[in-house]
Amino acid sequence: MRTVYVNGDYLPEDQATVSIFDRGFLMADGVYEVTSVLGGKLIDFAGHSRRLTRSLNELDMASPVEMDELLEIHRQLVARNEIDEGLVYLQVTRGAPGDRDFVFPDPETTPSTIVLFTQAKPGLAGDVAAKKGIKVISIEDIRWGRRDIKTVQLLYPSMGKMMAKKAGADDAWLVEDGFVTEGTSNNAYIVKGGKIITRALSSDILHGITRAAVLRFAKEAQMEVEERSFTIDEAKTADEAFVTSASSFVMPVVEIDGVTLGSGKGGPLALRLREIYLDESRKMAE
Ligand code: PMP
């Protein structure tokens, strides 16, 4: 049985509880992070903790722990659960005021709730799935306007994955005014004439931690990067496409709305970037 962390305690998962009045449960008033683990070490913890701080600040939510303490909790969970490859999920909510009320509770009397747990994913960094790539469908992006905040409000992304599954695909790309914003749980890219194209950062998309690292590594490897919006039609004529996220790293996209890209297998540039990302990230893991 897993050991999880809840509000200061390490507990067996079946003994960890959160109040029914928790605002995460009642109002999706919470933020989260997912940090991957490779070789028992955390990938880009610094990036994830920085984004957590930003999400909390944007929502005027108190941080329940200091960031160095957070690193220690992550490490403890990885060690106690003997995670070699997998991820650590973290969630902070605005706590449980003991009633339901739209007005934010006073943080002095209602502390934030913090929960962390691990998920073992043996073979996470293996390249079998990456070589095959994933198929995506496009759906309308009807999410709220602050997608740069990593909130637990994941109903529409979840519905998007179900629409994809029903259509025989693996995931969905979200489209607004004809332009791709991002994937349901990842950032979206196309490759044209050797150039990597991805939407620029704004409140339209989550500022992916993997995105930042991948773009940095791409530039270091002399690859050309263009941060601009692209339409779903342009994507269908691209040489390659891929997505990035903490749990999928760099994952090639081989089909969009039934249109096959390139050879129909993971594209060479995406696969090379995946290799570079995994190598470099492992070196810096902590
Ligand atoms: N966009 C969305 C909507 C996401 O949910 C995620 C992953 N949580 C990402 C992008 C990728 O972010 P990261 O690389 O930090 O995992």
Same domain as 114, residue 146: no
Same domain as 225, residue 90: no
Q: Quick one: pLDDT at residue 101?
A: 97
Q: How confident is the model at residue 5 (pLDDT cuts 50, 70, 90)?
A: very high
pLDDT for 127 beyond 90 = no
CA of 239 to the centre of ligand 1 (A): 23
Same domain as 135, residue 115: no
Same domain as 147, residue 58: no
pLDDT for 81 beyond 90 = yes
Determine the average pLDDT of the residues in 63-92. 96
Cβ-contact 34, 89 below 8 angstroms = yes
Q: Supply the mean pLDDT for the chain.
A: 97
Query: Which residue CA neighbors atom 10 of ligand 1 most closely?
Result: 186
DSSP 158-217: HHHHHHHHHTT-SEEEEEETTEEEEESSSEEEEEETTEEEEPPPSTTS---HHHHHHHHH
Task: Out of 89, 120, 151, pick the residue that ends a domain.
Answer: 120
Per the annotation, the verdict on 150 as an active-site residue is yes
Q: Over the stretch 150-194, which tens digit does the pLDDT of each residue have?
A: 999 999 999 999 999 999 999 999 999 999 999 999 999 999 999
Q: How many residues are given for the chain? A: 286
Residues in contact with ligand 1 (CB, 6 Å cut-off)? 34, 182, 185-187, 206, 208-211, 244-246
CA of 189 to the centre of ligand 1 (A): 13
Q: Give the strand pairing for 249-256 and 134-140.
A: parallel
Provide the number of structural domains found in the chain.
2
Same domain as 57, residue 191: no
Same domain as 136, residue 114: no
Same domain as 136, residue 96: no
Q: Quick one: pLDDT at residue 252?
A: 98
Task: Out of 120, 145, 167, pick the residue that ends a domain.
Answer: 120
Type of residue at 98: G
Same domain as 144, residue 257: yes
Angle between helices 45-58 and 67-80 (to 10 degrees): 130
Instruction: Write out the residue range of the structural domain in which residue 151 sits.
Output: 129-284
Query: Which residue CA neighbors atom 7 of ligand 1 most closely?
Result: 185
Q: What CATH number did the domain enclosing 21 receive?
A: 3.30.470.10
Q: Quick one: pLDDT at residue 128?
A: 86
DSSP 103-167: SPPPTTTSPPEEEEEEEE-TTTT-SHHHHH-EEEEEEE----S-TTS-BS--HHHHHHHHHHHHT
